[in-house]
Amino acid sequence: MSALVTLQRCGRRVLHARAAFDASRLGRYRSNQPGDSKDDNQLLKHLVMKIKATGPITVAEYMKEVLTNPIKGYYMHHDMLGEHGDFVTSPEISQVFGELIGIWCISEWMSGGKSKSLKLVELGPGKGSLMDDILRVFSQFQHLLNSCDISIHLVEVSPKLSEIQAMKLTGNNIETKYDEDTSAYKKGITKSGFKIYWYSDINDVPAGYTFFIAHEFFDALPIHKLQKTSDRWREMLIDVDPDIPHKLRFVLGSSTSPLAQTFIQADEKRDHIEVSPQSAVIIQKLARQINHCGGAALIADYGHSGDKTDTFRGFRAHQLHNVLIDPGTADLTADVDFGFLKRIVGNDVATLGPITQQEFLKNMGIDLRMKVLLDNNKDESTQQHLLQSYDFLMNPSKMGS
């Protein structure tokens, strides 16, 4: 059976949720004056030169450079996750989150006919915590899974994060010399004995019966911003402010955006939309692969069903951050349009959801799991921590919705 499951959630960047996580850390944040970027920001200099040479760039191009530029891109060389970083995500809050996704995988595998082999692919695995928790569940259900040849495939663009993942998942049991033809840039054996591979591009992952997991991945993919003016849709671009050196600003493209014809629906009611062609390409790839080889995908992110407008924003040290200031020092993100993703996959696969995180975790048995953990951990501070993290994941005013 083929299924594409979408799961909508409210994410790491919900300000009050993060503030509650560790309000004391917020003191660390020292903002520049509004409008200032650091003089020595190499990425900013590179962007300014590029814009001066070829003209204003799209928001998608800006996002791509700022997040994944090989030299100075935000994701490439540092660890931004957790209370000492810029944001926190559900897998970092509690092991229970990943464990329940592990349960989801096993239940899908069973209801899908217990295939003889399974590729578990995670897109954008961050610190590897989600996969670590999933694999611990797989080990506990080894008696069920031992008839299945399971391999792990991580799609990660960041050299720094891939190192952290390798350490967490394999204890650095990594092979540098390959005895087989693979497009992986790294491979090894997990602590629980599964083969594990790293790729920088989803297209490099070998085909087969696959479960794809993408947690807070799609929100990091570049978006274009289209604005409806009195007569047509035009694209918002990023330009250099002519009055202030090294200051970026938004401008409106002068002609009709060619993207409008492809991506704007005839009945579109909004006058501003954000669209991610890269997300479209990736979701199509997932759907086709599931259609041809079987499997499922679980897409978890904060998002909407095609009704939101301007959601592009930056986060640094758990605070909102102006997206055009000090590029490369803050995360850039936009809400995922689940309506768009579903429209793109069309009838290639069955799509379910989105549903809230709270509902998904309830369905997967979070209350039972919490009871077991609380029964097994009588220490008061551990119990308090467990209850706090449950509240973080489930409370609709935090990550639950």
Ligand X SMILES: C[S@@+](CC[C@H](N)C(=O)[O-])C[C@H]1O[C@@H](n2cnc3c(N)ncnc32)[C@H](O)[C@@H]1O
Which residues of the shown chain bind ligand X in the complex (CB under 6 A)? 67-68, 75, 81, 89, 91-92, 124-126, 155-158, 161, 215-217, 220
Rounded Cα distance between 318 and 22, Å, is 10
Closest contact distance (angstroms) between CB of 307 and ligand X is 23
Q: Which position has the token pair 């997967």?
A: 364
Rounded Cα distance between 40 and 299, Å, is 38
| Angle made by CA atoms 292, 262, 50, in degrees to the nearest 5 | 105
Closest contact distance (angstroms) between CB of 208 and ligand X is 20
Prior bond to 354 cis, omega within 30? Answer: yes
Looking at beta carbons only, is 132 or 260 nearer to ligand X? 132
Contacts of 149 (CB under 8 A, 6+ apart): 116, 117, 118
Rounded Cα distance between 376 and 399, Å, is 26
Closest contact distance (angstroms) between CB of 239 and ligand X is 25
Looking at beta carbons only, is 198 or 233 nearer to ligand X? 198
Exposure string of 143-176, with b = 16+ CB inside 10 Å and e = fewer, is eebeeeebbbbbbbbbeebbbbbbebbbeeebee
Task: Summarize the chain as % helix, strand, coil (round to 5).
Answer: 40, 25, 40
368 in Cβ contact with 100 (< 8 Å): no
Looking at beta carbons only, is 164 or 240 nearer to ligand X? 164
Looking at beta carbons only, is 48 or 220 nearer to ligand X? 220
Closest contact distance (angstroms) between CB of 168 and ligand X is 12
Looking at beta carbons only, is 85 or 353 nearer to ligand X? 85
Contacts of 200 (CB under 8 A, 6+ apart): 155, 156, 157, 185
Looking at beta carbons only, is 122 or 145 nearer to ligand X? 122
Closest contact distance (angstroms) between CB of 10 and ligand X is 13
Q: Which position has the token pair 């807070």?
A: 216
Closest contact distance (angstroms) between CB of 399 and ligand X is 11
Looking at beta carbons only, is 226 or 332 nearer to ligand X? 332
Rounded Cα distance between 248 and 254, Å, is 18
Closest contact distance (angstroms) between CB of 277 and ligand X is 13
344 in Cβ contact with 353 (< 8 Å): no
Looking at beta carbons only, is 124 or 208 nearer to ligand X? 124
| Residue 70, Cβ density class (10 Å: 0-12 exposed, 13-18 middle, ≥19 buried) | exposed
Rounded Cα distance between 116 and 254, Å, is 56
DSSP string over 112-167: TT--SEEEEEEES-TTSHHHHHHHHHHHHTHHHHTTSEEEEEEE---HHHHHHHHH
Closest contact distance (angstroms) between CB of 155 and ligand X is 5
Closest contact distance (angstroms) between CB of 222 and ligand X is 8
Looking at beta carbons only, is 263 or 315 nearer to ligand X? 315
Closest contact distance (angstroms) between CB of 319 and ligand X is 16
Quote the longest CA-to-CA distance of the chain.
68
* Residue nearest ligand X (C-beta atom): 124
Helices 277-293 and 338-345, packing angle to 10 deg: 50
Looking at beta carbons only, is 18 or 234 nearer to ligand X? 18
Closest contact distance (angstroms) between CB of 92 and ligand X is 6
Looking at beta carbons only, is 5 or 145 nearer to ligand X? 5
